[in-house]
Structure 1
Amino acid sequence: MKKKILTGLLITLIIAVLSFFALVPPLVDNASNQLTSSPPQPATDKVKSLHQSLFIADLHSDSLLWGRNLSKGYQRGHMDLPRLREGGMALQAFSVVTKVPFGLNIQKNTGDSDMIFWLGLSQAWSPSALQSLLSRAERQAGMLHDIADSPANKFTLILNRKNLQDFIARRKTDKDALAGWLTLEGAQAMEGDLKNLDALYEAGFRMIAPTHFFDTELSGSAHGVNKGGLTALGKQWVKAMENKSMIIDLAHASAKTISDVLTMAKRPVIVSHTGVKGTCNNNRNLSDAQLKAIAANGGIVGIGFWSTAVCGHDAASIARAIKYTVNLIGVEHVAMGSDFDGAVATPFDVTRLDGLTEALMKAGLNERQIRRIMGENIRDFLLKNLPSA
């Protein structure tokens, strides 16, 4: 009898463990990355014609985090390779998240807790990836390398200008060709050691933010406790990034960090995903003065798609924020920074980017402006600022 009971308990435990690994990741993914409304109405022939002629690029997505095989199509989340093609995307930034605190908010967070540990556990990450933020970054980067290594995916991992030039030439004759580059959302993955920047570069990262939702060894976060500026290590990091022709991303950075970086930067920066206070006034978003300073630096601002960024739940709200920013600092400094799959709800997934093209047209932006915003600004920025080889 005792043996039967133990056997039954063991079987129950095995079923529970298998269910945990099979069911939890997609459930969390589905709950985290939703749509705020029904898809936009089908695009008109005029919109389709313009949209299909665009070179489309986006500055931010967190799709590597959720355990999906992005080579395959899914009904959950905001994007994967088949949906990128359907939406007309050419060039996508793939951001890597290594640590996020519980109780996440835009006001004040510490780095004392770690939601990503539990997400990684549910996806059966290795012990090293569960314990080390650097290993987490390398693991997610490896997923994108694996996608690029399969010829069937027609996907190029962009590491330098030559990669990008070759991809642009290929894209002209093959609209199924896709490309992406690796970005890191928070330099906590360096684990306080500047030498780890070399490891991140070798892993393929070409754009890094000094902070995410909490203050790091490098700088203050807009959502941290102290919200300070660059530390001594942070100033060394800025110089090291520029020496490697890596791009600094100021999304989530505190006001003091933004000011400190722009004061010492010798290369243009990016704010990959944000809103603007002029249309949505909260501490997640950039002020007019910050926007002007970033433009003076030669930088680009990616306007996000979620409600905290644009104070709305539709494409018109995104277009309103984009138009405001264009009018303030010029179209050359404005791009898309969707935050697809970033644990946010967006009005549409990547397949319906034509809804944003239509909203920009309705907002009064002309064809040249729309082409710049929807991707040409990002393309040209990377052609100038990625490592040469």
Structure 2
Amino acid sequence: MKKILIALGVLLAIYLIGIYTVPPYIESQRNPVIQSPPYAVSPAAQALYDRLDFIADLHCDALLWGRDITEKGTRGHVDFPRMREANVALEMFTIVSKSPSGQNMKKNSSDTFDNITPLTIAKGESPWNWFSLVNRTLSQSEALADFVDDEGGKAIFIRSKADLQQLVEARKTDKQVIGAMLGIEGGHAIEGSLENLEKVYEAGVRMIGPTHFFDNEFGGSAHGESNEGLSDFGKSAVMRMNELGIFVDLAHASPAIIDDVLKLSTEPVIVSHTGVRGVLDSQRNLSDEQIQKIASKGGIIGIAFFDGAVGTPELPNIIASILYVRDLVGIDYVALGSDYDGAVVAPFDITGLPLIVDGLLEAGLSESEIRAVMGENVKRFFLQHLD
């Protein structure tokens, strides 16, 4: 018995050590930055940046890694203190519940080993989360709610138009108040259940991408095997999302799903983090026709920051992608969609957003256009369409 207890104690010690060392190591490897802070821009760009009333980003996966985002981190790209340092008003925190082994842009199977399972265990999460995608999702939702609660009124969990209006008003007198929204990357998280769709809505989710890197119950992924459109379940889920007030996010969706959603949805769509084929011809990026259809339906397109979406060098291509959407459909439809903390190499962390303003100024955009891209478009979109 003594030997058994000693063995169990050793195993427990190894597990506890792993909780504090493995997830941080994995995140530091998966979410590096090319250029570390601090970041320098022209005096004109910094002055304009400092005048911006509302800066917003449509996609960040910081909840995945088990990091306390109320504390300023030394790894990754986003946390609440760095949001405040960068004067960012609103961040869309997205939930990743499954990632296929060997994940790539071209073709992934839903049957491969799931990378998120060992990370979930290593983070010390409840065994209820180890093999349940919806439980992992609800756990990350609860984590965001807890982080917001810990801020003592300096953060607002945005679930409704009233919440967003509260944020806008609060920031008129206190720029330390920040907003957090919640999305899901991949509808597999609801495990083919409309009941689970209701659960994640109640947990605060207001955006769901039907597919991520593999095909699921909704239909085909841009990186999957089938290239199919919405399944019968996917159509039912999209209609229920419209009813509930959950936005459809078309990032990573197959072209057939994009067409199906644009025909079916009664609400405008979001593409939370993407590039455009006119800058980088990739199957994860939007064609001119898709951009035009999304804009015609009143949607909004977030330009991602990493090389797989915009190419290299990243910053000039981020600017080029923004300009491409503006020139094709107008400035009102383009926004920032970084994909921060999404297992990508970012050119800079969230405190480097003034670099984008610098690039947009050099490209000749007016202050009103820059305000639109940096957050006013997102604010207007959600004020118009959040329940």
TM-score, length-normalised on structure 2?
0.96
Residue in 1 that maps onto 2:79? 80
- Provide the rounded CA distance (Å) in 2 between the counterparts of 1:158 and 1:184: 15
Q: How many residues align?
A: 385
**For 1:15-56, what per-residue CA distance to the aligned partner results, in whole angstroms no more than 9, with x for missing partners?**
432321121010001001011235585123221111112110
Which residue of 19, 22, 30 maps to 1:21?
A: 19
Mapped contact 1:133–1:189 kept (Cα < 8 A)? yes
Residue type at the aligned position of 2:259: S
Q: Give yes or no for the alignment of 1:309 onto 2:319.
A: no
Mapped contact 1:274–1:286 kept (Cα < 8 A)? yes
Residue in 2 that maps onto 1:292? 292
Mapped contact 1:40–1:348 kept (Cα < 8 A)? no
Runs of 5+ consecutive residues of structure 2 not aligned to the other structure: none
Question: Secondary structure of the residue that 2:216 maps to in structure 1?
Answer: coil
Greater shift in the superposed pair: 21-30 or 42-51: 42-51
Residue type at the aligned position of 1:76: R
Residue type at the aligned position of 1:273: H
Sequence identity percentage? 44
Mapped contact 1:39–1:347 kept (Cα < 8 A)? no
Describe the shift of the 1:32–1:328 C-alpha distance in structure 2 as closer, same or farther (beyond 3 A): same
Q: CA deviation at 1:6?
A: 7.4
- Provide the rounded CA distance (Å) in 2 between the counterparts of 1:266 and 1:150: 37
Question: Secondary structure of the residue that 2:152 maps to in structure 1?
Answer: helix
Question: Secondary structure of the residue that 1:272 maps to in structure 2?
Answer: strand
Residue in 1 that maps onto 2:185? 185
Question: Secondary structure of the residue that 1:298 maps to in structure 2?
Answer: coil
Question: Secondary structure of the residue that 1:183 maps to in structure 2?
Answer: strand
Q: Give yes or no for the alignment of 1:224 onto 2:248.
A: no
Residue in 1 that maps onto 2:267? 267
**For 1:362-387, what per-residue CA distance to the aligned partner results, in whole angstroms no more than 9, with x for missing partners?**
11211111000000000110011111
Q: Give yes or no for the alignment of 1:64 onto 2:60.
A: no
- Provide the rounded CA distance (Å) in 1 between the counterparts of 2:374 and 2:218: 32
Describe the shift of the 1:11–1:162 C-alpha distance in structure 2 as closer, same or farther (beyond 3 A): closer
**For 1:165-192, what per-residue CA distance to the aligned partner results, in whole angstroms no more than 9, with x for missing partners?**
1110001110101001100111111111
Greater shift in the superposed pair: 51-60 or 8-17: 8-17
- Provide the rounded CA distance (Å) in 2 between the counterparts of 1:41 and 1:169: 29
Residue type at the aligned position of 2:266: K
Residue in 2 that maps onto 1:95? 94
Mapped contact 2:340–2:346 kept (Cα < 8 A)? yes
Question: Secondary structure of the residue that 2:68 maps to in structure 1?
Answer: coil
Q: CA deviation at 1:10?
A: 5.8
Residue pairs, 1:309-328, within 5 angstroms? 309-328=309-328
- Provide the rounded CA distance (Å) in 1 between the counterparts of 2:276 and 2:151: 40
- Provide the rounded CA distance (Å) in 2 between the counterparts of 1:328 and 1:79: 31
Q: CA deviation at 1:195?
A: 1.8
Mapped contact 1:208–1:246 kept (Cα < 8 A)? yes
Residue in 2 that maps onto 1:33? 31
Mapped contact 2:222–2:254 kept (Cα < 8 A)? yes
Q: CA deviation at 1:273?
A: 0.2
Q: CA deviation at 1:352?
A: 1.2
Residue in 2 that maps onto 1:131? 131
- Provide the rounded CA distance (Å) in 1 between the counterparts of 2:4 and 2:221: 51
**For 1:50-81, what per-residue CA distance to the aligned partner results, in whole angstroms no more than 9, with x for missing partners?**
11121100000000000101000111000111
Residue type at the aligned position of 1:333: Y
Describe the shift of the 1:197–1:224 C-alpha distance in structure 2 as closer, same or farther (beyond 3 A): same
| RMSD of Structure 2 on Structure 1 (CA) | 1.7
Question: Secondary structure of the residue that 1:339 maps to in structure 2?
Answer: coil
Which residue of 34, 42, 45 maps to 2:43?
A: 45
- Provide the rounded CA distance (Å) in 1 between the counterparts of 2:382 and 2:6: 59
Mapped contact 2:39–2:352 kept (Cα < 8 A)? no
Mapped contact 1:147–1:153 kept (Cα < 8 A)? no
Poorly superposed stretches of 4+, deviation over 3 Å:
5-15, 37-41
Residue type at the aligned position of 1:329: V
- Provide the rounded CA distance (Å) in 2 between the counterparts of 1:194 and 1:79: 32
Runs of 5+ consecutive residues of structure 1 not aligned to the other structure: none
Q: CA deviation at 1:13?
A: 3.7
Residue type at the aligned position of 1:53: R
Mapped contact 2:37–2:351 kept (Cα < 8 A)? no
Residue in 2 that maps onto 1:194? 194
Describe the shift of the 1:243–1:9 C-alpha distance in structure 2 as closer, same or farther (beyond 3 A): closer
Greater shift in the superposed pair: 36-45 or 179-188: 36-45
Residue pairs, 1:227-376, within 5 angstroms? 227-376=227-376
Q: CA deviation at 1:149?
A: 1.6
Question: Secondary structure of the residue that 1:76 maps to in structure 2?
Answer: coil
- Provide the rounded CA distance (Å) in 2 between the counterparts of 1:377 and 1:129: 36
Mapped contact 2:57–2:337 kept (Cα < 8 A)? yes
- Provide the rounded CA distance (Å) in 2 between the counterparts of 1:111 and 1:348: 32
Greater shift in the superposed pair: 14-23 or 130-139: 14-23
Greater shift in the superposed pair: 149-158 or 378-387: 149-158
Mapped contact 2:186–2:209 kept (Cα < 8 A)? yes
TM-score, length-normalised on structure 1?
0.95
Question: Secondary structure of the residue that 1:357 maps to in structure 2?
Answer: helix
Greater shift in the superposed pair: 266-275 or 31-40: 31-40
**For 1:142-171, what per-residue CA distance to the aligned partner results, in whole angstroms no more than 9, with x for missing partners?**
011112223436110001001101110001
Residue type at the aligned position of 2:28: N
Describe the shift of the 1:10–1:161 C-alpha distance in structure 2 as closer, same or farther (beyond 3 A): closer
